[in-house]
Amino acid sequence: MPTQKMLKEKTKSAADVASWVQSGDTIDYGFGLTQPDIFDLELSKQKDRLRDVIVRGTLSVSARQVIECDPEQKHFQFQNWHFSGYDRKKSEQGLMSYVPFNFGEGPEIYRKYLDVDILVLKTTPMDKHGYFNFGVSNTFARACCDVAKKIVVETSTAIPTCCGSESSVHISEVEAVIEGDNAPLFELPSAPISDIDRQVADRIVPLIEDRSCLQIGIGGMPNAVCSALAHSDIKDLGIHTEMFVDGMIDLVEAGKVTGKYKQTYRGEITFTFALGTQKTYDFINGNEICVSLPVDETNLPSKIAENDNVVSINNCLQIDLSGQVASESSGHRHISGTGGQLQFVRGAVASKGGKSFMCLSSRFTDKAGNPVSRIVAGLAPGTVTTTPRSDVMYVVTEHGIVNLKGKSITERALALISIAHPDDRETLMKEGCERGIISRRYW
């Protein structure tokens, strides 16, 4: 059957598609910018006929109406793979539950362990060949399609078309097409760069060599690294990352990225999702240099390590004196998720010439206005260890940089104390000695 005829027959209203949902079903909303909006609203309007519907989503960029309409969770239960600011607030209200996982394992988890009754994804409109492109969020979308009993797309002309692998679904596979509202995509402005961010970046950049292959996370510190690299003498960088952000465009435009020394996808920028400003969405739209891949291709350590000189740069919330890194929770309060941090740390360290950097400010200010050290003797009860101490390489604050590889617990503690805020070092030394973290000769 010609694709245009199939499209006409399969185009449905969001209300009609929502009527397919039955009590006890599992509905998947996909990732970030590709979560549906019109369908979400229509499903919320039908709540009274439904009970115990599980809705899965990731990194919500706007309010989810199935949550807002159901404060008692009688109708919908929302499960989330990685929290945004909105998701965090809903979790604190008891309206969302986090699903722990390493990001790169997502496709395998779907294919082996999960059931999906209806998958609803926001995609590009159908192209002339009958394909709907996943655009900004490849991640585990194809795997979810493979296991879903019904696939529904909510189209949007705002979604960029991304070149890549496993980055689309064909009209023949789709049960229904909902014509979207084509609203502009949510934009995440680049975080402002503070003096502390610049100081951290200034310690990292001298250790990045020509021909390095970069993975850079999100936030002020990674932005500062991109800015410093753009103004450095470094050349022939490659990019193999999970998240494509605005700062990477600055590197490309500064002539720092050629990718010609990458071992995989030579000359190309590889990523699994994008989140930034319209600048990013315009840059990746139809750009053959930017290759969108499923997350097991970008994030599994074995895939990462196929490139030489991988440099992984990530933020964290806290680190204890033995080197345990907490990046996703503060006590029992869940903040974000494991994401790809651990896998990129391991992939970078396994890469020939690779380096992993864990960045943090030495202090933060609590709600009462008091300065609190991010380097602590021990993590608070409930705080999740995102990256085990055995995996951590470089740790960087505005006061210094240390490499924990090969160091004993005492040596690690002393090294970390040396890059803590000067006003916190005496207390950390005392606590380290009292807890037996630091050997007796230093008591």
Tokens, residue 68: 């807002």
Query: Which member of 42, 242, 268, 328 is catalytic?
Result: 242
Burial of 128 (0-12, 13-18, 19+ CB in 10 A): exposed
Q: Establish whether 42 is a catalytic residue.
A: no
Tokens, residue 330: 């503060």
Tokens, residue 256: 């720092």
The DSSP string of 135-175 is: TTB-TTHHHHHHHEEEEEEEE-TTSPP--BSS-EEEGGG-S
Q: Tell me how far apart the alpha carbons of residues 415 and 436 are, in angstroms, rounded to a whole number.
A: 16
Q: Which residues contact 219 (CB under 8 A, 6 or more apart)?
A: 191, 315
Give the H or E element holding residue 425.
helix 425-434
Q: Which residues contact 4 (CB under 8 A, 6 or more apart)?
A: none
Residues for the chain: how many in total? 443
Q: Tell me how far apart the alpha carbons of residues 398 and 238 are, in angstroms, rounded to a whole number.
A: 26
Place of tokens 């060599």: 209
DSSP letter at 356 equals E
Q: Tell me how far apart the alpha carbons of residues 428 and 415 are, in angstroms, rounded to a whole number.
A: 12
DSSP letter at 381 equals T
Catalytic annotation, residues: 242
